[in-house]
Amino acid sequence: MTAAPTIHVCTVCRRVREDLPDGFDRPGAALADALAQRLRDAGSAITVATAECLSVCKRPCTIALAADGKWTYLIGDLETEIHLDDIVGAAELYAASADGIVPWRERPACFRKGVVARVPPLPARQQG
């Protein structure tokens, strides 16, 4: 049995918002809170963790979907109001996969369009 995945959410990404005094907001905290609540309500083993920076500043809001022994996906251009269900659904497909690779056609559109990177899993450490 593999470990449940974690959705890492960047909380420092700045999204341009001309309607705000500073000219930007930081949507990551709201996304992390909404994801955590949705997953708790569903009784999911998937966890949410905040990240200070995922270095994808030009594509806020960004998440990393990761689990031991699986490929990690970095996905940008996400919005809480629009993509929450897609993120949860994609995370569930990811959790059910053996290696973290979800077939392209099964991924929600925001994941197909928003992929920044796919990072191979680290080699398993030998106990000894």
pLDDT per position in the chain (128 positions), as tens?
567 999 999 998 877 778 878 776 788 899 999 999 999 999 999 999 999 999 998 888 999 999 999 999 999 999 999 999 999 999 999 999 999 999 999 999 999 999 999 999 988 766 65
Q: How far apart are CA 90 and CA 108, in angstroms?
A: 7
Q: How far apart are CA 5 and CA 39, in angstroms?
A: 12
For 6-119, CATH number out of 3.60.21, 3.40.30, 2.40.50, 3.30.870 equals 3.40.30
